[in-house]
Structure 1
Amino acid sequence: MSLERRQLLAGIGGIATLSVAGCLGGDDDQPTTLWHDFSDAEETDLVEHAERFNEERDDELNLEAISEIEDQLSTAIPAGDGPETFAWAHDWVGNYHEQGFAYDAADDVNLDLDATFTDAAADAVRFDGAVYGIPYGAETVALMYNEELVDGPPETLEELVEIMDDYHDPAEGQYGLSCPPADPYFTSTFLHAFGGYFFDDETESLGVDQDEFIEGVELLQESIWPYVPQDPAYESQVPVFDDGNAPFAINGPWEIDGFRDSGIETTVAPMPDIAGGDPTPFTGIQVWYFTATLEDADEEALETAIDWAEWHSTDEDVILTNAENHGFIPVHQEYADDDELGDDVEAFAENVAMGVQMPSHPRMDQVWNPVEDALEQVFNEQESAEDAMNAAADEIRGRWE
């Protein structure tokens, strides 16, 4: 899950916290609560799904849209005021295990995870023998192009660069690409291209100061960064494609509805081939987390949280809606290989197939920010790729100690 998305995705649907509990009913004395930071279109479908789930239930699920959800959860859960469940990518599982923020539902879940979901999805919700949630979809970033400006997707990075170069004219407000250039999640396709890695879950080794990773940074520096706006912030990059001023974007399924609502004929494509390497984006599994709030919850609240996660992740209408409307790749085994879910899902699935799953080890939490800071220094020509990544590695290892 991208760092920028952690901070900004909630803003797509509005900055203020929004409760829809009043729409869905529920017992105000003991509400079972779900937090999310979905975009407007995702939230619309979520509300419809929750209304259907709540039919004839005594303990109805209450939904709350939360801005800055990471900060809100880190404060609310220790205080016992957090939700029973919330949606996020799997990369928090290890960190939540270590902090005691998650509830182990291994004895409460009724689904056979291994028989129901793909191997990657079933593994994503487990840590150290515990089960901390239920998976409901896979996602990654992909190359998107504006059909009014580009005839078809480039097959190679060289082809991509050639088209970007033809279009790029910052003096006229036109750019070759919309992509948060220093965000490790969005740029992972290139950082991993030559065998580099951020962190290895199994060996617990750091890879950002390895030659292969630095070569990926230099690839970004040469082939991608010259064609994006000079402000690296997410909110400065997205409008470039959204306003029709860039032929390409690198982004995720959460932005497709917004681009198309703006009138951009957006097509999702595989990441282009990279000479001497392989495009390898980070992939994520979307999860309904069970929080430590359930430790002291009554039996009805526990049952509601578990029932919701299991129902949402296995209901056919929910799975198909998430795929067809929002580009989420099904992780339920019966639908994971369905080739009739639309072009968006097919294209994202191609990118997932070439990708690598985000590490979920607690130590990875200390990797994101130093790497982003280092990439910004290289992007702004303040440091060489080698010096910046060596400094980031020193900072990360110091945090681990």
Structure 2
Amino acid sequence: MDRRSVLKGIGGTAAVTALAGCLGTGLFEGDDPEVLWHEFQDAEAEQFSDFLRTFNEETEHDLGSNSVTDMEEQLETALPAGTGPVGFTWAHDWIGYYHDEEYLYDATDDIEIDLKETYSEVAAEAVQWEGNVYGLPYAAETVTLMYNGEMVEEPPETVSEMVEIMETHHDPDSGTYGLAYPPIDTYHMSAWLQAFGGHILDEETGELGVDSDAVIEGAELIEQSFYPYVPSASEASAHETTFGDGNAAFTINGPWMVGEYDDMDLGVAPLPAPDGGEPTPFTGIPMWYFTTQGEEADEETLESVIEFAEWYTTDDDVITTNADNGMIPIHNDYVGDDDLGETVGAFSETVDMGTPMPADAKMDSVWAPMEDALSQLFAGDESAADALEGAADEIRGSWE
């Protein structure tokens, strides 16, 4: 039984008890749920609190929010049990599965914003599924190259140049590394897995490509050019700390980490190109989702959550502040604005290289087998071809 099935099996009172145990006693304020959920990091969480306070003051609403960990697990415990948020923020790629599970509220008739006139075409399409509008977008994001300015003078333009710099600084016995980079995270590794023309999942055709020659070539690039220079830990938090402490020349991460590295000489650059390929990372459209809890909430609560999403995704201060933290604006008034700084420019270049994460529910069965395959590759237990072919068999088996 997979993780989703286990969570769905909790149900009812047990689900509410489990949720309270995970989130603590601060989930409810009187009889009113904290209707907005997010999983922002520390710096982003503080900024979001300021935004929400501003919105409440300007509109005389009293929306509450809750910072949760393991958003996916919390939602899949809460929503089937009839609890949880009216709105939450995450990238667009959950929309297909959550639509199929009937977790989402169709706000087509409630929103006052014209999607096409307000947001970029990609962003406007990302928040819709089968013609229904299930949220509003506020940025584009992906992972890109970050470097420690005390170790790296100029960012590399090619993977070969990056390898030369990593070799210079990689000395595990002294606690320094060429690269701090979660080694088994498919999202973080997608740029290289898809660098030679392959697709992990082709959303247009629905075909799985993880065992294609092109994706195997990308996995071999990871094995040969990146894995030798990373710490042995597999947890993302360990790599984030290693880089943040100044003990690695490079990391590859997303805009949500920019604010966490304020105390170091941080540089941000587009992803370097491998020989014979182009980095093609997954890109995401962060959005405020509307859930079926809106149907259960009082009308004022639902309206205030939708109004908040409209405000958050169009407010000048929110857009420019998020841009300062590397989130690429998708509001048409700000798309391509050269005045937003070098960090935004670097992320924007990498976003342009990428491909949207598949929102097809079939993608849900891809992540865990791919993580296992990358883990086997990182440990040296399997060749790239064997690991990915095993993952493909498992994924296709789950689809049958």
State the TM-score, normalized to the length of structure 1. Answer: 0.91
**How far has the Cα of 1:39 moved from its partner?**
1.1
Contact 1:33 1:61 in 2 (8 A): yes
Aligned positions of 1:169-318 closer than 5 A: 169-261=171-263, 264-318=264-318
Kept in 2, the 8 Å contact 1:182–1:232? The answer is yes
> 2:398 — aligned with what?
399
Of all paired residues, the percent bearing the same amino acid is 52
**Partner AA of 1:282 in structure 2:** F
The aligned amino acid for 1:155 is E
Indicate how the Cα distance of structure 1 residues 353 and 365 shifts in structure 2: closer, same or farther if over 3 A, else same: same
Q: 1:178 and 1:96, CA in 2 relative to 1: closer, same or farther beyond 3 A?
A: same
1:24-173 residue pairs with structure 2 within 5 A? 28-31=30-33, 33-55=35-57, 57=59, 59-173=61-175
CA distance in 2, matches of 1:306, 1:255: 27
Q: CA deviation at 1:16?
A: 5.8
Counterpart of 2:289, as a letter, is Y
* Rounded Cα–Cα distance in structure 2 between residues aligned with 1:57 and 1:157: 50
Q: Kindly indicate whether the alpha-carbon contact (under 8 Å) linking 1:35 and 1:65 is maintained by their aligned counterparts in 2.
A: yes
Structure 1 residue 323 displacement after superposition: 1.0
The alpha carbon displacement at 1:215 in A equals 0.5
Shift of residue 58, structure 1, vs aligned partner? 5.4
| Superposed displacement of residue 18, structure 1 | 8.4
Structure 1 residues 331 and 19 mapped into 2: Cα distance closer, same or farther (>3 Å)? farther
Q: How many residues are aligned here?
A: 379
Structure 1: gaps of 5 or more residues: 1-14, 23-27
Which residue in 2 is equivalent to 1:329? 328
Letter in 2 for 1:286: P
Which whole-Å CA distance do the structure 2 matches of 1:137 and 1:363 have between them?
24
| Secondary structure of 2:284's aligned partner | strand
8 Å Cα contact 2:28-2:34 kept in structure 1: no
Distance, in Å, in 1 between the alignment partners of 2:227 and 2:158 is 17
Aligned-pair distance for 1:74? Answer: 0.6
Contact kept in structure 2, 1:17 and 1:65, CA below 8 Å: no
Gap change, CA 1:112 and 1:304, over 3 Å in 2:
same
1:366 corresponds in structure 2 to 365
Task: Pick closer, same or farther for the CA change 1:57–1:151 going to 2, 3 Å.
Answer: closer
How far off is 1:242 after superposition? 1.3
Per the alignment, do residues 84 and 166 of structure 1 end up closer, same or farther by CA in structure 2, a change over 3 Å counting?
Answer: same
Distance 1:104 1:56 in 2: 26
Gaps of 5+ in 2: 1-21
Q: Shift of residue 297 of structure 1?
A: 2.5
Q: Give 1:298 shift.
A: 2.3
Query: Matched residues in 1 for 2:24 and 2:284: separation?
Result: 25
Q: Residues of 2 paired with 1:205 and 1:389: CA distance?
A: 15
Following superposition, the deviation at residue 400 of structure 1 comes to 1.1
User: For residue 229 of structure 1, what is the amino acid of its counterpart?
Assistant: P
The amino acid across from 1:393 in the alignment is: A
1:370 match: secondary structure: helix
For the pair 1:343 / 2:342, whether they are aligned, the reply is yes
Instruction: Work out whether residues 199 and 206 of structure 1, in 8 Å CA contact, stay in contact via their aligned partners in 2.
Output: yes
CA RMSD of aligned residues (A): 1.6
Q: Is the 8 A contact 1:142 1:269 kept in 2?
A: yes
Q: Post-superposition shift, 1:341?
A: 1.0
Displacement of 1:181 after TM fit?
A: 1.3
After TM superposition, the score normalised by the length of structure 2 is: 0.92
